[in-house]
């Protein structure tokens, strides 16, 4: 009898980080349950990328509708169209405009509940060191607190381990790891602007371009015309 493979629940945006993360757990021998979220983000194009990547990985994929929650969170450039998406380097102070309060905690806790119900061994998030300066829910202290909270909330029930294998990786490290795993980077989506092509100017586009460049990899991304060289 073939042994059952362990299940990993991945909080999955369809971007470079979560796609590399999914490929990593598949490489480790896990079955994948990819959970994406529609929280009213202006870059809803990422959900189509998530579907395409999931199909490429032959992974189970679901989109959770949190759009009503997003409408109750004004002030973020990702959910509030009256706020401009800042251009420039992803570590700049102006990128605070892209914070959606408690976003990772909301998504991770939903994923943890699903994981418990499905008997999954792991809930994995693709947070990395490049996000620490701007996003408090991407830091090691957040991961530790999240594990404590999930463990307390599921006392007596199946409790997944919260894993963040890239929490000390740079984006360049993730690009290199993804290349080693054969990640289909051309299918992934990073841009926060919400247009048909990556804008090349917002913080996540700058970070994406920089990562491929610094890793010595060909960037497969099609950017909008007239993008100035910033890398």
The residues with which 202 forms a beta bridge, in sequence order, are: 87
> What's the rounded Cα separation, in Å, for the pair 212 and 77?
25
What predicted TM-score, i.e. pTM, was given to this entire model?
A: 0.93
Question: Which tokens sit at 65?
Answer: 């509708």
Strands (E), 76-136: 122-124
Convert 213-223 to b/e letters by CB count within 10 Å (16 or more is b). Answer: eebeeebebeb
Which DSSP symbol is given to 152? H
* pLDDT for 28: 97
Please write down the long-range contacts of 80-83, taking CB distance under 8 Å and 24 or more positions apart: 81/42
> What's the rounded Cα separation, in Å, for the pair 154 and 79?
31
* pLDDT for 81: 87
* pLDDT for 226: 66
- Could you tell me whether strands 60-65 and 122-124 are parallel, antiparallel, or unpaired per DSSP bridges? unpaired
**Domains in the chain with CATH codes:** 7-215 (3.40.50.620)
Question: Which tokens sit at 45?
Answer: 């194009």
The residue ranges of the chain whose pLDDT is under 50 are: 1, 228, 230-231
Total count of residues recorded for the chain: 231
Strands (E), the chain: 7-11, 31-38, 60-65, 122-124, 161-163
Residues 6+ apart with CB under 8 A from 29: 5, 6
Task: Determine the 3-state secondary structure of 202 from DSSP.
Answer: strand
* pLDDT for 21: 98
Task: Determine the 3-state secondary structure of 90 from DSSP.
Answer: coil
């Amino acid at each position: 009898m073939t042994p059952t493979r362990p299940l990993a629940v991945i909080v999955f945006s369809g971007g470079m980080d979560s796609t590399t993360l999914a490929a990593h757990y598949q490489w480790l021998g896990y079955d994948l349950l990819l959970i994406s979220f529609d929280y009213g983000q202006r870059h809803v194009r990422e959900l189509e990328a998530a579907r395409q990547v999931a199909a490429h990985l032959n992974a189970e994929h679901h989109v959770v509708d949190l759009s009503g929650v997003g409408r109750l969170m004004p002030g973020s450039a990702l959910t509030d169209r009256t706020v401009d998406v800042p251009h420039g380097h992803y570590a700049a102070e102006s990128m605070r405009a892209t914070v959606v309060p408690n976003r990772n905690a909301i998504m991770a806790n939903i994923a943890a509940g699903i994981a418990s119900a499905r008997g999954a061994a792991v809930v994995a998030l693709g947070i990395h060191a490049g996000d620490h300066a701007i996003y408090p829910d991407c830091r090691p202290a957040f991961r530790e607190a999240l594990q404590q909270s999930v463990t307390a909330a599921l006392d007596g029930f199946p409790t997944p381990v919260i894993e963040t294998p890239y929490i000390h990786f740079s984006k360049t490290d993730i690009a290199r790891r993804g290349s080693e795993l054969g990640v289909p980077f051309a299918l992934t989506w990073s841009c926060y602007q919400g247009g048909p092509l990556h804008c090349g100017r917002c913080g996540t586009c700058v970070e994406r371009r920089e990562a491929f460049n610094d890793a010595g990899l060909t960037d497969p991304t099609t950017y909008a015309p007239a993008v100035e060289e910033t890398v």
